[in-house]
Amino acid sequence: MNNKYRFLRRDSYVVDLGSAPGGFAAAVAKTVKLDDRARRWDQEGKRLVKRRITGRRRSRPFGKLVCVDVVDMAEIGGASFIRGSLMDDDVEHRIGYALNGDEADVVLCDAAPSTTGNSEMDHIRCVDMAKAGLGVANAVLRNGGVFVVKVFRVRKKRNWLRL
């Protein structure tokens, strides 16, 4: 996807929502130059004083990758991991803390609920997760940033595109 749209750079700050098992995160780690000093964050929420950066973003020596999921995933060198749901009230603050108060350049939402076998119900639940991801993206994404979301597809339902 990045080969076509070129939204990832070596110094991008990326948030991967629903990151387990780590497919998107591994692809991001191949493009973004990560600093190996990143930490894994636990369930404890931390307070954040958020700095807003407006206008063009400056070049940085490293990018950042913050992975968020309810289940653990394989560790990726230089990436931060937050164990929690994107529906949690404090997830935006925890992501902001992991980004040191900076805003993300890219938010990827690969979150999906457990499937039930009913395609329409699964689609509705997946759209709800996508909307929650959009809410997180609105809180942590810089102006002009990129939001990429994956949604289960049902032929009859296309209204979610009009968010």
- Please tell me the distance from the alpha carbon of residue 155 to that of residue 158, in angstroms, as a whole number: 7
- Helix or strand holding residue 29 (H, E): helix 23-31
State pLDDT tens for residues 94-144: 999 999 889 999 999 988 888 888 888 888 888 899 999 999 999 999 999
pLDDT in tens, 134-157: 999 999 999 999 999 987 776 655
Q: Of these residues, 50, 150, 156, 157, which one is catalytic?
A: 150
Domains and CATH numbers, the chain: 2-162 (3.40.50.150)
The predicted structure's pLDDT at residue 65 = 94
- Evaluated on CA atoms 7, 11, 35, 88, the torsion sign reads negative
Report yes or no: 76 and 119 within 8 Å, Cβ to Cβ. no
Among the listed residues 92, 84, 2, the one whose alpha carbon sits nearest the alpha carbon of residue 44:
84
Gap between the Cα atoms of 127 and 122, Å rounded: 9
150 is catalytic: yes
